[in-house]
Amino acid sequence: MKFTNVADINKEISRLQVKQETTSMSLADEKKLLKEIETLQVSKRTAEELQLKHGDLNSIKQERKLISADLTAKDKEIDSVQKQIDEQAKVVKKLSDKHSSQRGAVDDLIKAREDLKDQLDAKFKEKGELKKEFREMTNEWYQAGRAIKAQKQLQFEEEKKKRDEEHKEWLKKKEEEELSKTPYEEEMALCDYLADYLTKTYLTDAAEEAEKRAKAAEEKAKADVVAVKDDPFAGFTAMSKNKGEDEVYFGKGKGGKKTKSSKNKAAKPAKPTFSINLDLFDQFGMLNLSPPTNLDAVQASVEELTAKKQWYSEQPRGSVPTVRDIRKKKEEAAAKSNGKSKSNLGGGKKGNFDISKEADFVPLGA
């Protein structure tokens, strides 16, 4: 058990519940967190039973201390009685030497000594009974400890068996989910994305696209226009004062209202310039293809992407490495190289700069 106190278990459960409610995590981490909360709930009952057993054991210990104290007191009484017997024997010996005629007194002392012996035998008998009781209580204490240990072992084995079964079930479900997916679905989607990007960026005529967008905007504007009833400007026409001027007059005669309009010249769409960023180089590398280096090679690259998608759709599952596998290998290689660079940077003494050492310079890349 991680905790043996009920208060500590409740505190840990509250902390894990707050973490679950306030922290974003993966499904596996959340299942692991829920499993840990459930384990703490189960151990809570075991901790309560353990506290009860500890209470019983403490009471047995207290009784054992009391019995030990009684035994010590009885030993002291026996020692005092023995001392009295010895003193009485000395007195009897003196009296027998000095007063041989006083046999009656000697008989009384002998009787007193016999009585003391009987008392001593009774104390020894009581001491034996106390030892027997102490031995029985000690055996009960050891048996209770063995029972608790056996119970913990059984609980641990049951929990381990349950965890193993849940893990096997999770692996089986994960394997079924992977088998239900289309093989190399991510790779085919990447081929579609790259082909669509190259087509829209470099192969589609920009002028046609601009004209289509303008028509769509004009149709949308017409659809948004609301017909005006009782228009006060009905019948007005626009006329220019002089040719070449930007001022336009509205009105039926003299004194018409004057507004200004600016000449809008349609900008000719610029011819797209060819440029490929580093991200596209990386994505083409994931597919084991080379990106186009000029505008004339874009069409061939789109055809290669289409053929690559068809090739992926014909490959059986697991026959070629996936994009995820390639990315994982690159991340591991980058992590190893970063670890080596950090170890090289930390190898020198602090505060000593040497221009001859490469480790004193920050690396420019992975």
CA–CA dist 7, 93 (Å, integer): 71
CB under 8 Å to 251, separation ≥6 — which residues?
236, 257
187/323 Cα distance (integer angstroms): 6
For 2-11, write each residue's pLDDT tens digit: 776 777 778 8
Query: Residue 300 pLDDT > 50, yes or no?
Result: yes
Contact 327, 279 (CB under 8 A): no
More confident: 238 or 57? 57
pLDDT at position 75, please?
A: 86
| Overall average pLDDT of the 145-174 stretch | 92
> Which pair of structure tokens corresponds to residue 323?
């994009």
Can you count the helices (H) and strands (E) in the chain? 8, 3
> What domains lie within the chain, and their CATH numbers?
6-180 (1.10.287), 183-215+271-347 (no CATH)
Residue bearing the bigger pLDDT, 235 or 280 = 280
Report d(CA 262, CA 2) in Å as an integer: 80
Give the up-direction half-sphere exposure of residue 138: CA atoms within 13 A in the CB hemisphere: 10
Q: How confident is the model at residue 290 (pLDDT cuts 50, 70, 90)?
A: confident
What pLDDT is stored for residue 313 in this prediction? 83
Work out the average pLDDT over 174-184: 74
SS3 state at 261: coil
Query: 204: phi > 0 → left, psi -120 to 50 → alpha, else beta; which?
Result: beta
Cα gap 46→236, rounded to integer Å: 94
Predicted pLDDT of residue 231: 59
Q: Are 1 and 47 in contact (CB under 8 A)?
A: yes
Q: How do residues 196-224 score in pLDDT, each as one tens digit?
A: 988 888 887 655 666 777 888 888 777 76
Q: What is the mean pLDDT of residues 284-289?
A: 85
On the question of pLDDT at 366 being above 70, the answer is: no
pLDDT > 90: what percent of the chain?
16
Q: How many CB atoms lie within 10 A of CB 118?
A: 10
CA dihedral 199, 203, 205, 208 (to 10 degrees): -30
More confident call, 108 vs 251? 108
pLDDT tens string 252-284: 444 444 444 444 444 555 555 777 788 888 888
Instruction: Give me the chain's average pLDDT, please.
Output: 77
- HSE toward the beta carbon, residue 191, CA cutoff 13 A: 22
- Answer yes or no: is pLDDT of 357 > 70: no
